[in-house]
Structure 1
Amino acid sequence: MRIALGVSYSGSAYEGWQSQLSGNTVQDKLELALAKFAAQPIRTLCCGRTDAGVHALMQVVHFDTPLQRDIASWVRGANTFLPRDIAVQWAREVPDEFHCRGSAVARRYAYVVLESPVRPSVEAGRVGWVYRPLDGAAMRQAITHLIGEHDFSSFRAAQCQAKSPVKTISRIDISERAGTGSKYWRFEFEANAFLHHMIRNIMGCLVAIGQGSYPPGWLAEVRDARSRDAAAPTFSPDGLYFLGPVYEDHYGLPVRTAAYDWLP
């Protein structure tokens, strides 16, 4: 049977999702836990590979297995052997034609920024940080230049392996929550797919605009330049969260998990 899992993790301690010789990746830890539970090797595929330091609230993976187990036992069994900062949130049996990456019609990310004169402590590794105030109106005006289908080469990492830089962003939302002498900003992105470092490079530009270094229209100039040299430096991975893929309803897969509920 083919099993899909929804997995959440804090990426701070790991070298990204994809398996490495060091064994210190989320995929390595998940496959080790599944192998211990199943008493045989299990190889997984994921919907979206995350970089070192990037978190996930609902990474979706799938694998094939001949084992006949109660579906809920895949959650309890894997979590028994996983480190405390990785947890399987749900498990579902899916049809053979389901592919965690190929069946996704969209992907969602959030980036959380702490605006504060003092660097983060409790949130260290879990939020990006700026000490200069951000202008929400300017950033909201700027994001209009990214909605729709565009060539996002200016926001693409040199090592990106995507076949095309043309992607379609359907939604970018910016919200804010005031604290005591500080403010949390949440930037939420949804697109059919993303390039390597695309969101972090967009965030670098939005922060520059929010702090007044450039006007909102500069983002259109960066987009049209189709050159990484035109954009701002890549922003920190700390506040980036993979919210998960979007699938067609007939698969019956969850769209949220309990891991979502703490995020500002």
Structure 2
Amino acid sequence: MPRYALLIEYDGGPFAGWQRQADAPSVQGAIEAALRKLEPDAPTIAAAGRTDAGVHALAQVATVDLRRDWTPFRLSEALNHHLRPDPVAIRAVAIVPSDFHARFSAKERRYLFRLIVRRAPLTIERGRMWQVRQSLDVEAMREGARHLLGRHDFTTFRSVACQSDSPVRTLDRLEITEHPRDDGTEFRFDVRARSFLHNQVRSFVGTLERVGAGAWQPEDVAKALEARDRAACGPVCPPQGLYLAGVSYDQDIFAAS
């Protein structure tokens, strides 16, 4: 039974998250329904990360075992046909070894968060970015972000509902770039680690926005981290600016796709 890896892009707006749910639409449910149009007994799929409601993906990865020997091109074309009109696309398919797992084989996960400072309400990009109205000091946010890099107990920056056994993680990158636009200024947060806790990235961004707005000082981020107390966290920002931007493995499994 061959194993396939799927490279997936989706708009998280219409979904209650990645994970299949009995009474709400999910990305996993949409893909599994498409797979069962091809193979009625197709099993469940495993993803590199479970994104929350409203969170998007540019390059989610999932694995599935199928009975038929599909060429990657034919499988991606067939799935995309059956996924319409859901805002989910299979960008590529790769045949992978039987011991490859989208989640457990991952070496790094990359998230992008988009925030825009703009007065007028968003229209075209509504649901794609978090909009704030006050100006932000990017250097202050960068200074605050530096306190989060490295290996720490991130209890302060994880949801109380987080099911991970340990709050300890190693944050490899939290880079903030500033992009002036005709209608305002966009800030992009590039966040990378091997694995993340539930709501960790949104907790980071919500806290750093407070630093950029001047409500917090950069050193307050270090104090919050050291507190190891969820109550010490800044506000958790909304999900619509968050994207799962990529997952890395020992090899580029989609290089030949």
Asked if Structure 1 and Structure 2 have the same fold, meaning a TM-score greater than 0.5 normalized by the shorter chain, the answer is yes
Decide which of 124, 127, 135 is 1:125's aligned counterpart.
127
Structure 1: runs of 5+ lacking an equivalent? 258-264
The reply on whether 1:29 has 2:30 as its aligned counterpart is yes
Structure 2: runs of 5+ lacking an equivalent? none
Decide which of 95, 105, 125 is 1:103's aligned counterpart.
105
Structure 2 partner of 1:260: none
d(CA) in 2 for partners of 1:167 and 1:134?
28
Q: Quote the offset at 1:253 in angstroms.
A: 1.7
Q: Quote the offset at 1:181 in angstroms.
A: 3.9
The reply on whether 1:243 has 2:248 as its aligned counterpart is no
Deviation string, structure 1 residues 1-34 (Cα, Å, up to 9, x no partner) = 1100000000000000000002500000000011
Q: Quote the offset at 1:127 in angstroms.
A: 0.3
**Equivalent pairs, count:** 254
The reply on whether 1:81 has 2:82 as its aligned counterpart is yes
TM-aligned CA distance change 1:130 to 1:23, over 3 Å: closer
> Would the aligned equivalents of 1:23 and 1:29 in 2 still touch at CA under 8 Å?
no
> Would the aligned equivalents of 1:111 and 1:188 in 2 still touch at CA under 8 Å?
yes
Q: Quote the offset at 1:41 in angstroms.
A: 2.9
The reply on whether 1:223 has 2:225 as its aligned counterpart is yes
Percent of aligned pairs sharing the same letter: 36
1:18-97 → structure 2 map (5 Å cutoff): 18-82=19-83, 83-97=85-99
d(CA) in 2 for partners of 1:120 and 1:65?
42
Q: For 1:167, give the aligned amino acid.
A: R
d(CA) in 1 for partners of 2:121 and 2:198?
27
Structure 2 partner of 1:261: none
Deviation string, structure 1 residues 146-173 (Cα, Å, up to 9, x no partner) = 1100000001101101111000011111
d(CA) in 2 for partners of 1:181 and 1:207?
19
Classify the secondary structure of the residue corresponding to 1:20: coil
d(CA) in 1 for partners of 2:169 and 2:158?
11
TM-aligned CA distance change 1:254 to 1:173, over 3 Å: farther
Decide which of 184, 188, 197 is 2:190's aligned counterpart.
188
d(CA) in 2 for partners of 1:66 and 1:37?
10
Q: For 1:253, give the aligned amino acid.
A: I
Classify the secondary structure of the residue corresponding to 1:168: strand
Give the stretch that moved more between structures: 174-183 or 10-19: 174-183
d(CA) in 1 for partners of 2:78 and 2:219?
52
Deviation string, structure 1 residues 29-75 (Cα, Å, up to 9, x no partner) = 00001111234333100000000000000110001112112221111
Q: For 1:55, give the aligned amino acid.
A: H
TM-aligned CA distance change 1:7 to 1:44, over 3 Å: same
TM-score, length-normalised on structure 2? 0.96
Structure 1 partner of 2:216: 214
TM-score, length-normalised on structure 1? 0.93
Q: For 1:165, give the aligned amino acid.
A: P
Structure 2 partner of 1:253: 253
Give the stretch that moved more between structures: 95-104 or 174-183: 174-183
Q: For 2:138, give the aligned amino acid.
A: G
d(CA) in 2 for partners of 1:147 and 1:254?
30
Q: Which runs of 4+ in 1 moved over 6 A?
A: none
Q: Quote the offset at 1:119 in angstroms.
A: 2.2
> Would the aligned equivalents of 1:167 and 1:194 in 2 still touch at CA under 8 Å?
yes
Q: Give RMSD over aligned pairs.
A: 1.3
